[in-house]
Amino acid sequence: MKLLIYAGGEYLTGDDIALALVDYSQALASVGTAESVEIPIRERDGSAGSAVFLVGPSSQIVAKSTHEDGQEELVDDAVVDRLRARMRRLRPPPAEPGRMIDWDMDAL
């Protein structure tokens, strides 16, 4: 589990979820934009909840490893997949080495 420290609050979530949020925040910062993202969290009483984070260029998020006795790892593959997909849309794939680009000068 990871403890997210953000804007003076602490939020317990799964490792993959926390790392995807931090990575997405970094990707948004690299293109100079921000976005609100909702992720699942574990409430203090052990119940499931959610929190919305505004992430982007000025985000200051810390993901700290923690061991919560009796707490099962929080997993939400759909949230992680969604964050990773958004990240891929922000970063186009690099050009393949040695691949020629066919410029159509008439289209310019």
Cβ-based neighbour number of residue 39 at 10 Å: 23
pTM of this prediction? 0.80
- Smallest Cα–Cα separation from 86: which of 37, 19, 13, 53? 37
Confidence (pLDDT) at 54: 95
DSSP-derived letter for residue 24 is H
pLDDT (tens digit, 9 = 90+) per residue, 45-59?
A: 889 999 999 998 988
Tokens 């410029």 belong to 103
d(CA 32, CA 57): 6
Query: Which residues of the chain are under the pLDDT cut of 50?
Result: 108
